[in-house]
Each structure stands twice: as structure tokens, then as C-alpha cells.
Amino acid sequence: MVANREPCAFFFQPLGEALHRCKICGADRKQLPGTGYSSLFSHLVSRHEDFRAEYDTHHRGTERSLQDFGFVFEKTPHRYQWLRWVVERSMPLSEVDDERTRAMDKWRPTNSKAVKKDVITVAPNLGSVISEEMGDEIGVILYTVDGRLRRTLLVVSPLDDGNQDADAHIALFRNVLDVYNKTIDVIRFLVADNCNTNRSIATKLGVPLVGCASHRFNLAVKKFLTEHETLLQQINSLMHQLRLPNNASELAKLTPLRAKARNVTRWSSTYGMLQRYVKIRAYIRELGAVEDLTPRSGKHKKLVSLLSHLEKFESVCKHLQSEATSMSEICNGEKLSTAESVALRRLGRSRSDEGLGTAGRKRKGRQESYAAQIIQQGRVKRRAGGSAVYSALATQIPPTSNACERLISESKVILTPQRSSILPAHFEMLAFLRANKDMWDITSLA
């Protein structure tokens, strides 16, 4: 006895939204999922009395699955909807793994106007939280709470068109701090690149300018690489040739690793290029098209030696960019110069205010990278009674301004080409909430 679903699957074509079209007469019948096949089968019985004979004739001696008739497994429609969502919304494939994304099917529907209203509600409430928590000492881009480093975005507002000198920036600082009920006197230092505008801002505010250590490090590495530029250009030309379609396809037959060219604006790309060259050199030598560009044994040894130096530089660069790294660690107990001591006077404290602090705590074990070894080897014991006492903020000064670069990169996720018409005020609020997402919760909507 043939089950009802098999002839129904054979004689009806699914149209979606519970509609099915009869392949014999073209009539549309509705059959809701999970309710059986009574509606479809009754149509066959009442309108096509010989359907059984036709079905048996067609299937005599053959066995076909339900998938051949357009029916699918129960989980397939769900996978189809996820795929449509990823493709049509241009979402990354990893988005379906996000817990918040998976929970969306349990949320009540809303609309853009309601979400916009919530954004406008939460943003000023978050500003009030920051104002209460900020304290009386801050550095531009950060401040401390209970001895912990806290990087909080205060504003994303750009300067108006026209004059953008130091005075304009200082006026912006005043306006922003006024929103948080603070004066410009709470600023204790400025972390930024050592350009003329930033130097002028620090001078007029009377605060020390902490030049970006990452920027200085990049300049130092570029200077170090100058004497190796001829070899590096040869490797870069080799990588460009390996990225051409024909050469790339031949290389892909030998290894899944692709050639990497360098970006002249970032030395780390040079490290990545050399690292990839060393890994795929054995495969490159099998490609006759790039034989003339492949370095010989002597040059290859020089490149391997250079790569060992760049590995150390990479370790230092990453250590500088770590949010756990502070100027107190970079200084490594060295005695401050006269100029540095003068610059830190604004952060001075009496010994009675020193308290227990966190300086005496032992650091947890960490991976022994080259940067960590330098710091460990260079540690010296401080002279008893000869060291000055500074506020907790002084020990938390970051050596780089990479937090700003990360903010710009994160903002690109919000301000995509598809959202180029977003209002500046809405963009600022979204960036503000995203950067400070750990400082607001469901109570902020109240």
C-alpha cells in the first residue's frame, strides 16, 4: 500500500506559503505543513480517478526518494532562511555563530523608530554614568576607576570646517568636558603623535605629551630596514609575480598558502611577507616562471637572519599595543630625567596618599615573548626612600594611542558604504554606545 504522501509528492509542485500546484490539471491547493496530505490527496481522488494507475506505471521497477519530488527534511527550511539572511544582508558567515544573533528569533518584533528612540534614551543616560565615575583626574582618552585602567569614549564629534589648530581642539575639549560637568583642569596628560598641533595643545594646556611609542617604533624599524631595502624589493617583486593568476594557480597546486606583498606604510607587512616567503620557498623553486626572481642561497640566508630580527620587533610591537601595557612598565624602573620629572609634577602625591596601591603585587606568569624578556632582564631595584610618589593615574598612562586607531576601525563597521546617508548625530550615538558597551545595560532604558 502506497502512503498518501508519495503520490502527493509526485503529482504536486510546492509553490511556497503552503500552496501546491497539481501537475495534471494545474489547480492550486493549500496544505499547511504538519497537517498531513488530506487536502492534496482528496483532490487526486475526486478529480483524477486514474492517478494510482499512472503513478504505478511511472514508478514500476524504480525507487525514488521524496527529495526527487521537491520535499525536503524539516531542518532544511531553517538552513535556507539563514542562508538567505546571510546572502541578502551581506553578513559574514561567522554571524550565524554569534549567540546574540541566534537569540533574535525569541525577541518580539520592533521597528526602526522604536530602536532610534531607545538609542536617544540610552546615550544621555550613559553620559551621566560616565560623568559620575570619571573623577577629577583624566588623561585624554582614558581615566582610572579603583586603580583599573578605563578607556571610555567621551565624544566622536569632529571639528567644524575651518580653523583646526590647537585652540580649536582645546575649545572642543572644554565643550566636551562641560557636558560631563568637568573643567579642562582635570586633564593630566595627552597621548598622541608628536605633530605640531598636538605639541601646541600640550603646551597650552600645560600637560605632558606622551608621544605614541608605536609610531616611534615604526619609524625606528623602517630606519633599520633601509640597508636591506634592495633584498626586500626583490622579495616584494617575487610576491607580486606569484599573485598573478597563472602563477597563483600553479602555486595553489603545491600549497594552500598564498603569496603576500608588503604595504609600505606598515613595517609589519614586511614581516608578514618574509614569514610567508620562508614558508613557501620550497614550492616557489618548483615554479619556472619566477626562477629569476627567487633569491639564491646567500641572499636567502640574509633574509632568514633578517626575519629573526623582525620576529623580535613584532613581539615588541604587540606588547606596546596591549591594553595591559603602561608607561610604568615600559620605563622599567629607570630613573626619570629632569624633564620627565617636571612633566609628572601634576600627577604628584604625598606619601600619606599613596596607600597600598597595586605596585607591590606580583605579576601573573606570562608568555616569555622577546618583549617580556627585555622587561624582565632590565628590572632594577628602586632605591629606598629616593622615589617620588604619584597618583594611580600616572602608573596607567598608555605608551601608545592605538586605542584611537581601533576606534576608527570599529567605526568602519557602523559607517559602511551602504549606510553613507546616516545622520552624523545617529552615527555618533551608535559609535558612542558601541565603544562603551560595558557601561550600559537594560536599566539604561528606564
Of 176-180, 212-216, 396-400, the least confident: 396-400
What average pLDDT does the structure give for the chain? 76
For the chain, the straight-line distance linking the first and the last C-alpha, in angstroms and rounded, comes to 64
| pTM across the whole model | 0.54
pLDDT at residue 77 tops 80? no
**Side-chain-facing half-sphere of 130: CA atoms under 13 Å:** 31
- Coil vs helix vs strand at 35: coil
Residues 378, 375: Cα–Cα separation, whole Å:
5
State residue 190 phi and psi, 5-degree precision.
-130, 125
Residue ranges of domains in the chain: 5-69, 76-106, 114-212+400-445, 217-321
Question: What tens digit of pLDDT does each residue of 1-43 get?
Answer: 456 778 888 888 888 888 888 888 888 888 887 777 888 888 8
Q: Are 51 and 44 in contact (CB under 8 A)?
A: yes
Length of the chain: 446
287: DSSP letter:
-
Question: What tens digit of pLDDT does each residue of 181-232 get?
Answer: 888 888 878 887 777 888 898 888 888 887 776 777 777 888 888 888 899 9
User: Given this model, what pLDDT does residue 234 score?
Assistant: 92
Q: Output the DSSP codes for 359-401.
A: TTSPPPP----HHHHHHHHT--PPPTT----B-GGGGG--S--
- β-bridge mates for residue 139, sequence order: 142, 189
- Coil vs helix vs strand at 99: helix
User: Given this model, what pLDDT does residue 142 score?
Assistant: 44
Sequence letter at residue 292: D
User: Given this model, what pLDDT does residue 17 score?
Assistant: 80
Residue range 245-266: average pLDDT?
88
Question: What tens digit of pLDDT does each residue of 226-255 get?
Answer: 888 899 999 999 999 999 999 999 999 999
User: Given this model, what pLDDT does residue 242 score?
Assistant: 92
pLDDT at residue 278 tops 70? yes
Of 188 and 160, which is predicted with more confidence? 188
Residues 123, 429: Cα–Cα separation, whole Å:
6
Question: What tens digit of pLDDT does each residue of 107-125 get?
Answer: 888 888 888 888 888 888 8
Of 68 and 191, which is predicted with more confidence? 191
Q: H/E element holding 143? A: strand 142-145
